[in-house]
Every structure is written in structure tokens, then in C-alpha cells.
Structure 1
């Protein structure tokens, strides 16, 4: 059984696949405590692979599933990835990279959190398609470039909950990208559009 926080259909709001319709399967629980986390893990529904496939089947036409959390690597396994593939889905995952992943996942987005959480384990990923760094204006994201290989590089301004601070961070992020053009800007468009 998997502990699922929520399942919903929306547009991917961040990173390389921004704007793409996706079914989100949000796993409950995380091994890190980031100050900006916007997920409530107080409730989790135990679901089998069959339950998950049934729950997402009404949106099968989009063909794209994003496994997210929390930290989905704590629960995701080859069996669920295989079931999702059998059901016709392209499987993407968003992870902090601290645990190994099933090899069959189609798209791996690594979002490192070592700048925000203490005692973060070493990177455990063997393949990365995209690096999405939460940019706070205080930590240099260049340290992730050597670990990224040929992955797509995204900087995402940190949402602090303070409008003035967010504007400052966003401008710093834009300035940083203009000076380091191998990075791309990732905005949380779902928040800008007020969608889930």
C-alpha cells in the first residue's frame, strides 16, 4: 500500500513541462523539513497500485503522470511504475534526490534541498533529466551544475509568503540567469493562475 496525500488533474506549473496537462499523484511524507513546503501531510489515504490506476483512469487521455510529494522516493517502486506504463502513462517524478529511484521512470526532476534542510543525505540518483533549484538569493546554484550532467537547468524563485521579499528574490533570480545563461527561469505558474 502507498500513502497518498492527493490525486488531481491540472497543468504542470513548474520546470521543463510547464503548461502540460498532467495527473498528479502526491505521496505523503518527506524525509526533509523545508521552511517553504506548501504540502499538508497530516492526512494520507492508503492506496494499492490498483486503487491509484483506477483513480487516475478518468484522465488517461492526457497520458502524463507526475509523481510528487513530499518525497515520493520513500515509497515509489518498480511495480507501480510498471502499472502506470501498462496503463499508457509517461511517468515523471519530482524528488529531492536522497533515495534511489526505479530505473523505468521516464523523467526525473531533481530539486535539491540541502540549502534549506540540515543533514541532507548525499545525492542518490543515477539519472537526472532536469534540475530545479529553489532560488532564495542567498545560495549559489552553480554547485549543482557539475552533478547535473546534461540535464535541463531551472531556477525557481522561492516563495517566502512575503510579497516584497518575493519580488526581490524574483529580480535576483532573473539577474542571476542573465549572468549564467545555462539556467532557465521556472515560475510556479499554477500559483500565478490560482489553480491546483
Structure 2
């Protein structure tokens, strides 16, 4: 059984696949506690892989599913990924990288959180397609750029909940990318256009 916080159909709002129609399966629970986390994990439904597949089958034509959380690597396994592939989905995941993943996942976005939490967070990934770092203006993200040399590199300005502080961070992030052009700006476009 998988603990699923929510399932919904929208557009990918962040990173390399921004703007792409996607089915999101948000898993409940995480092994880290980041101060900016926007997910309520107290609500979840226990579901089998078949339950998940049935819930997302109405959006099969989009062909793209994003496994997110929380920390989806705590629950996602080969059986689920195999069922999603069999149903014709390209499977992407966003992970903090602290647990191993099924090797058959198509797209792995590593979003390191070690700068924001004091819990141990050793990297356990064998494949990284994209590195998406939350940029707070206080830490230099360059330490991550050399970890997976072929990965797409994204900086996402941290949403502090304070408009003035957010604007400062965005300005710093843009300046940083201008000085380090191998990084790309990733905005949370779903928040900007007010969609789920």
C-alpha cells in the first residue's frame, strides 16, 4: 500500500518540463523537515498500485506522470513504476536523493535539501537527469553543479511567503545565473498563474 496525499492533473510548473501537461501523484511523508515545505502530510489515502493506476487512467493521453511528495522515494518501488510504464506513462520523480530509486524511472529530478535541514541527507542516486536547487541567496549552489555533469541545472528562488524578501531572492538568483550561465531559472509558474 502507498500513502497518497493527492492525485491531480495540471501542468508541470517547475524545472526542465515546465509547461508540460502532467498527472501528479503526491506521496505523503518525508524523512526531512524543510522550513519552506508546502505539503500537508497529515491527510493521505492508502492506495494500491492498481488504485493509483485507476485514479490516473482518465489522463492517460498526456502520457506523463510526476511522482512527488514529500519524499516519494520512501514508497515508490519497481512494481508501481512497471505498472505506470505498462499503461504508457513516462515516469518522472522529484526526490531529495537520500534513498535509492527504482532504476527504470525515466526522469530523475534531484532537489537537494541538505542546506535547509540538519537531518543527515547523503546522496543515494545512481541517475540524475536534473538538479533543481532552491536558491535562498545565502548559500552557493555551485557545489552541486559537478555532481552529475550531464544534468540539466535549475535554480528555483525560495518562496519565503514574504513578497519583499521573495523579490530580493529573485533578483539575487537572476544575478547569480548571469554570472554562472550553466544554471537555468526555474520559477514556480503554477503559483504565478494560480493553478494547482
Instruction: Give the TM-score taking structure 2 as reference length.
Output: 0.99
1:172 corresponding residue in structure 2: 172
Task: Kindly state the Cα deviation for residue 59 of structure 1 after the two structures are TM-superposed.
Answer: 0.3
Task: Kindly state the Cα deviation for residue 190 of structure 1 after the two structures are TM-superposed.
Answer: 0.1
Contact 1:5 1:27 in 2 (8 A): yes
2:77 corresponding residue in structure 1: 77
Matched, 1:127 2:159: no
Contact 1:113 1:120 in 2 (8 A): no
2:145 corresponding residue in structure 1: 145
Contiguous gaps of at least 5 residues in structure 2: none
Distance in 2 (CA, whole Å) between partners of 1:81 and 1:131 is: 21
Distance in 2 (CA, whole Å) between partners of 1:108 and 1:164 is: 32
Q: How does 1:15-164 map to 2 (within 5 A)?
A: 15-164=15-164
1:181 corresponding residue in structure 2: 181
Task: Kindly state the Cα deviation for residue 145 of structure 1 after the two structures are TM-superposed.
Answer: 1.0
State how many pairs are aligned.
Answer: 196
Please list the CA deviations of residues 81-133 of structure 1 after superposition, one character each: whole Å capped at 9, or x if unmatched: 00000000000000000000000000000000000011332100010000000
Contiguous gaps of at least 5 residues in structure 1: none
SS at match of 1:73: helix
SS at match of 2:41: coil
SS at match of 1:132: strand
Distance in 2 (CA, whole Å) between partners of 1:119 and 1:46 is: 27
Structure 1 stretch 130-139 or stretch 111-120: which is displaced more? 111-120
SS at match of 2:133: strand
Distance in 1 (CA, whole Å) between partners of 2:156 and 2:191 is: 13
